[in-house]
Amino acid sequence: MKSARSKARLGGFGSQGAHPKPGRTGPRATRLLMTTIPSVTSLATSLGEFPPEAVIFGRSEVMQSLRDRMDKVASANVPVLIQGESGTGKDIIARMIHGLSPWRSGPFVKVNCPAIPGTLLESELFGYEKGAFTGAYGSKPGRVEMAHRGTLFLDEISELDLGLQSKLLQLLQDGQFCRIGAQEDKRVEVRVVCATNRVLEVEIESGTFRQDLFYRINVVNLQMPPLRERKGDIPDLVTYFLEYYNRKYNCRARTLSGDLMSALQKHHWPGNIRELENLIKRYVILGNEEVISSDLMAHQQEFPTLDLNFDGPIALKTITRQATRELERKVILKVLQAHHWNRKQAARALSISYRALLYKIRDAGLPPNRSSRRRVDPLPTQDIAAD
Ligand SMILES: Nc1ncnc2c1ncn2[C@@H]1O[C@H](COP(=O)(O)OP(=O)(O)OP(=O)(O)O)[C@@H](O)[C@H]1O
Ligand SMILES: [Mg+2]
């Protein structure tokens, strides 16, 4: 496994390559795997519940062009590489590609590469023959075989070690692979869809990902935009998740207030749609907006946002001063909360005078005391003690 790898993420690339068509017959077809594996066939019918397409693709231009690209590629049996940050919907898109493809009645087999220990991954992917290793009491097909005449979805492909990358390359080049311990290669017809949140070019440079494999899997590239680049879609996503989880948990959480909605628009969304979904789920279950406010505030402290306007001059001093003020505000708020809004204790903890703290509280636009605390939006839920 590649735990020590570069953690660089994202990227977009060109396309090339080709792949055999499904259902092909001919002299070599006799060796094709014709067996249907029951446990896998059932996967085709359990692809999961999708949100409506209008929600998945929203209104942003970037998602509309992604949808066009996906529609075009779905019907062609070419490998697809889906790239994007965690929580942007790579899984959903992989399933949609399968659902729109001519092989939709075939299996959809997902392999979550990091979830399977390196030593087991080869047998899990390619299967083994009886006696191939200690404990191989019978033969077992791998997931590649299970995906015959369907889709093989390799999630987090960068986690494959170099040995497995070679085997995968062979599969993509000529549709052949070898079970562990087998004398002969087998042949499958399978559409390969890969996903990653890494920048594979960086992995190639560092020698942990094969360039030739990259070109094979990257015939068509789908780049998932992060949620912060499609903020206009947030209101529709919120409405959808609110209705969905209200129905699911039999709750009646109300529509979000305008203030909170604009706080959602300002958030950086490092966890993308998954983060938004979880936030709304918590709101529905716990039933108050302060839950969301406090979540957002906690994240803001971890991921300060920097909105630069490149239309005019960028004054470094001004930006630095603003950033320092913002950081100071967050630190003061956190310390006040930790001391239940007791300002004398907070001043001691911050190693500044009580007077200086009062000044900074006013300067930062924070509430001066317990009673006026609710004027600041958003604020975490905390019990507040009087000074
Ligand atoms: N466009 C979308 N519309 C509605 N829900 C979405 C959308 N994209 C993702 N989601 C929801 O967000 C969650 C994360 O999506 P998904 O698992 O597809 O992301 P991912 O990119 O595969 O993340 P990871 O890299 O962590 O595997 C899921 O619960 C999914 O239902
Ligand atoms: Mg995923």
Closest-approaching ligand to the CA atom of 197: 1
Summarised one tens digit per residue, pLDDT across range 59-109 is 999 999 999 999 999 999 899 999 999 999 999 999 999 999 999 999 999
Burial 309-341 (b: 16+ CB within 10 A, else e): eeeeeeeeeeeeeeeeeeeebeebbebbbebeb
Name which residue sits closest to atom 8 of ligand 1, judged by CA: 89
Residue 332 CB less than 6 A away from ligand 1:
no
- Helix, strand, or coil (residue 92): helix
Closest C-alpha residue for ligand 1 atom 24: 86
Q: Which residue has the higher pLDDT, 149 or 373?
A: 149
- CA distances, 78 to each of 107, 172, 197 (Å): 17, 10, 21
CA-to-CA distance for 310 and 366, rounded, in angstroms?
A: 30
Predicted pLDDT of residue 32: 36
Q: For residues 265 and 324, what is the distance between their CA atoms, to the nearest angstrom?
A: 22
User: How high does pLDDT run on average in the chain?
Assistant: 79
Task: Note the pLDDT tens digit of each residue in 112-171.
Answer: 998 888 788 999 999 999 998 888 899 999 999 999 999 999 999 998 999 999 999 999
Ligand nearest to the CA of 87: 1
pLDDT at position 266 is 86
Q: Is 88 in the pocket of ligand 1 (CB under 6 A)?
A: yes
pTM reported for the whole predicted model: 0.70
Side-chain-side CA neighbours of residue 125 (13 Å):
30
Q: Which of 245, 274, 278, 281 to mutate to test the pocket of ligand 1 (most atoms within 8 A of CB)?
A: 274
Residue with CA at minimum distance from ligand 1 atom 17: 91
Partners of 154 in the beta sheet?
Answer: 111, 194
pLDDT tens track for 320-356? 777 788 788 888 888 888 887 888 989 998 989 898 8
Question: How far is the centre of ligand 2, averaged over its atoms, from the C-alpha of 374 (Å)?
Answer: 39
Please name the residue whose Cα sits nearest to atom 7 of ligand 1: 89
Q: Point out the ligand 1 atom lying closest to the alpha carbon of residue 93.
A: 18
Q: What is the number of the ligand closest to the CA of 62?
A: 1
Which of 92, 96, 276, 279 to mutate to test ligand 1, by most ligand atoms within 8 A of the CB atom? 92
- Ligand 1 pocket, 129 CB below 6 A? no
Task: Please name every residue paired with 128 in a beta bridge, in sequence order, or none if there are none.
Answer: 140, 180
